[in-house]
Amino acid sequence: MDIIYLHDLRIECIIGIWEWERRIKQTVILDLDMAADIRRAAATDRIDDTINYKAVAKRLIDYVGHSEFQLVETMAEKVAEILLAEFGLQWVRVRINKKGAVRGAGDVGVIIERGKA
């Protein structure tokens, strides 16, 4: 299995359960590991034969940026669904970091792995 990754994608969005969180945008940080067979792209040297990580980033910046989830768990699940459905992936690992959500912790968030059935 080959992995195309996109890490440290920072997106401003409404996220959280507390009233004050519903009034401001916060930064979430996404790390994506996406399974793809890149042999064809390596042979043709064509972007159309691989996962275009710029297209992935643009799609998620738009989607997450307009979202208003309460839980990062829900956000992670929806991001995984988009990646599997729209980008033809067989498997994805989504890590969402809600930096600063817990005082004294450098990072806090979720990591999920999803694949096509």
Distance CA 28, CA 49 (A): 30
Report the catalytic residues: 98
Under DSSP, the state recorded for 102 is S
Structure tokens at 14: 């409404």
Coil/strand/helix, residue 85 = helix
Strands of the sheet with 26-36, listed across from one edge: 68-69, 2-15, 26-36, 91-97, 109-115
